[in-house]
């Protein structure tokens, strides 16, 4: 906008952008007796023409917040699963060369403030004031326009990946595998071995493919909640503290380190996490690929039945991620009989030593100071 490359008056051309698969409408899309199953997305966000046609005709600028498309995805772990005989290509769900066919749904958050307040068990006024304050007063309408009930928060949304026929998802008699995954760029994309994120994600994809091949569906929801929603900078600061602390990186200090750096052990909220599940019309999950007690509690509290919880297979846990999995199971994550953690293990399970020697850190700091002096930045600072 500042560079004037996008006309602020531009109206998007949405012809031929419609969803490639049909979803809903499901009973969960509508409020019942003051209870809202969906408060954080617009259930009609993918069908603006059908839902808001008369307003579009009047010239209102109404844009989709949900888009549905298809893709072929290609993951090295799926190819490995074929080589090792865990997956078999069938030409439909999975091709001979290991590609799988999916339907995917991108969702942006659309918050219905009275419903969000209800979920967080705060008053709408309290919610509005907090949002206003914590966004540096960027949205004065939160306070001045209580009649505007919807807010588009400047936070990340999610993407839903579906294996199998999406029409089968709402049928409780057809097997459904689900993982609700929170973004971890370091592991998901770049393969860091300090956590279980990517291996657990690819395990969920493998399970989803298998379920789809057996006539069911698999759903993986990928949320942009990097570093327990604290962000990657905080996450790396915590990594440094974990590796540098006296006694080294160990399970008993795993959550404490995040608490010391961020003031909380986790800033994700699961209260609105199940909304996309209700958008998909899910009432029963046969296999939940998650060990998180917080996610399980939120999903079941929202009225969805969960039959089985699947922990990450131990052989998939990366070497340096033993600290994480031990700490999480001790704190209440579901180990499913595969992981058993007692107090003694909390001090025993150790992570890799990154060799952050004191002399190295001091040398690096000294070199940094020297470089700054050379650049004149430090000198300028002193003058001020
Ligand atoms: Zn991770």
- Is residue 384's pLDDT more than 50? no
pLDDT of residue 265: 84
- Six-digit token pair at 300? 């079941």
**Cα 232 to ligand 1 centre (Å):** 10
**Among 115-124, 200-209, 264-273, 366-375, which is the least confidently predicted range?**
366-375
pLDDT of residue 115: 95
What is the C-alpha to C-alpha distance for residues 384 and 372, in angstroms, rounded to an integer? Answer: 15
pLDDT tens digit sequence for 168-187: 999 999 999 999 999 999 99
Q: What are the DSSP calls for 257-280, one per residue?
A: HHHHHHSSS-----TTTTHHHHHT
- Is residue 378's pLDDT more than 80? no
Instruction: Please state whether beta strands 158-163 and 150-151 pair in parallel, antiparallel, or not at all (unpaired).
Output: unpaired
What is the C-alpha to C-alpha distance for residues 24 and 103, in angstroms, rounded to an integer? Answer: 15
**Cα 324 to ligand 1 centre (Å):** 9
First-to-last C-alpha distance (Å) of the chain: 35
- Angle formed at CA 241 by CA 237 and CA 243, multiple of 5 degrees: 115
- Is residue 243's pLDDT more than 80? yes
- Angle formed at CA 215 by CA 210 and CA 217, multiple of 5 degrees: 65
pLDDT of residue 376: 58
- Is residue 262's pLDDT more than 90? no
pLDDT of residue 197: 93
pLDDT tens digit sequence for 282-298: 999 999 999 999 999 99
- Six-digit token pair at 344? 């003694």
pLDDT of residue 157: 94
Is the pTM value of this prediction over 0.85?
Answer: yes
pLDDT of residue 335: 83
Mean predicted confidence (pLDDT) in 222-231 = 89
Q: Which residues 6+ apart lie within 8 Å of 55 measured at CB?
A: 62
**Cα 69 to ligand 1 centre (Å):** 27
Element (H, E) at 239: helix 232-244
**Cα 319 to ligand 1 centre (Å):** 13
What is the C-alpha to C-alpha distance for residues 351 and 371, in angstroms, rounded to an integer? Answer: 33
pLDDT of residue 87: 95
**Cα 23 to ligand 1 centre (Å):** 31
CB 295 within 8 A of CB 180: yes
Mean pLDDT of the chain: 90
**Cα 197 to ligand 1 centre (Å):** 4
In angstroms, what CA-CA distances link 86 with 77, 81, 99, 137, 211?
11, 5, 15, 53, 13
What is the C-alpha to C-alpha distance for residues 238 and 261, in angstroms, rounded to an integer? Answer: 6
Mean predicted confidence (pLDDT) in 219-226 = 94
162-193 burial, b if ≥16 CB within 10 A, otherwise e?
Answer: bbbebebbbeeebbbbbbbbbbbebbbeeebe
What is the C-alpha to C-alpha distance for residues 360 and 353, in angstroms, rounded to an integer? Answer: 14
pLDDT tens digit sequence for 247-259: 888 888 888 888 8
- Angle formed at CA 68 by CA 34 and CA 89, multiple of 5 degrees: 120
**Cα 321 to ligand 1 centre (Å):** 9
Give me the phi and psi of 70, to 5 degrees please. -125, 160
pLDDT of residue 308: 96
**Cα 60 to ligand 1 centre (Å):** 42
pLDDT greater at residue 199 or residue 338: 199
Mean predicted confidence (pLDDT) in 356-364 = 68
- Tell me the pLDDT band of 377, cut-offs 50, 70 and 90: low
**Cα 194 to ligand 1 centre (Å):** 7
What is the C-alpha to C-alpha distance for residues 14 and 337, in angstroms, rounded to an integer? Answer: 50
Indicate which residues carry an active-site annotation: 266, 268
**Strand partners for 179:** 220
């Amino acid at each position: 906008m500042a560079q004037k490359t996008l006309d602020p008056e531009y109206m998007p051309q949405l012809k031929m952008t419609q969803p490639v698969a049909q979803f809903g409408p499901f009973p969960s899309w509508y409020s019942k007796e003051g209870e809202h199953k969906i408060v954080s997305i617009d259930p009609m966000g993918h069908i603006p023409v059908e839902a808001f046609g008369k307003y579009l005709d009047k010239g209102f600028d109404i844009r989709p917040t949900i888009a549905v498309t298809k893709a072929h995805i290609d993951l090295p772990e799926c190819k490995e699963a074929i080589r090792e005989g865990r997956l078999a290509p069938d030409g439909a769900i999975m091709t001979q060369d290991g590609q799988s066919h999916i339907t995917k749904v991108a969702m942006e958050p659309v918050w219905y403030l009275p419903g969000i307040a209800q979920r967080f068990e705060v008053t709408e006024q309290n919610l509005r004031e907090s949002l206003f304050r914590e966004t540096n007063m960027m949205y004065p309408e939160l306070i001045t326009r209580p009649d505007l009930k919807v807010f588009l928060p400047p936070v990340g949304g999610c993407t839903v990946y579906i294996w199998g026929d999406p029409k089968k998802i709402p049928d409780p008699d057809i097997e459904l595998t689900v993982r609700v995954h929170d973004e971890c760029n370091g592991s998901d994309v770049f393969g860091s071995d300090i956590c279980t994120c990517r291996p657990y994600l690819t395990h969920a994809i493998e399970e989803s493919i298998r379920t789809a091949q057996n006539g069911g569906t698999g759903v993986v929801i990928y949320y942009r909640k990097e570093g327990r929603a604290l962000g990657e900078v905080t996450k790396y600061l915590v990594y440094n503290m974990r590796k540098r602390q006296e006694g080294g990186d160990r399970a008993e200090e795993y959550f404490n380190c995040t608490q010391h750096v961020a003031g909380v052990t986790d800033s994700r909220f699961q209260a609105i996490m199940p909304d996309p599940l209700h958008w998909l019309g899910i009432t029963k999950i046969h296999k939940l690929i998650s060990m998180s007690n917080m996610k399980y509690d939120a999903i079941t509290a929202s009225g969805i039945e969960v039959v089985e919880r699947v922990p990450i297979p131990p052989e998939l846990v990366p070497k340096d991620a033993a600290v994480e999995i031990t700490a999480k199971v001790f704190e209440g994550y579901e180990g499913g009989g595969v992981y058993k953690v007692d107090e003694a293990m909390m001090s025993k399970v150790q992570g890799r030593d990154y060799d952050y020697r004191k002399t190295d850190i001091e040398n690096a700091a000294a070199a940094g100071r020297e470089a700054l002096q050379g650049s004149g930045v430090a000198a300028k600072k002193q003058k001020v």
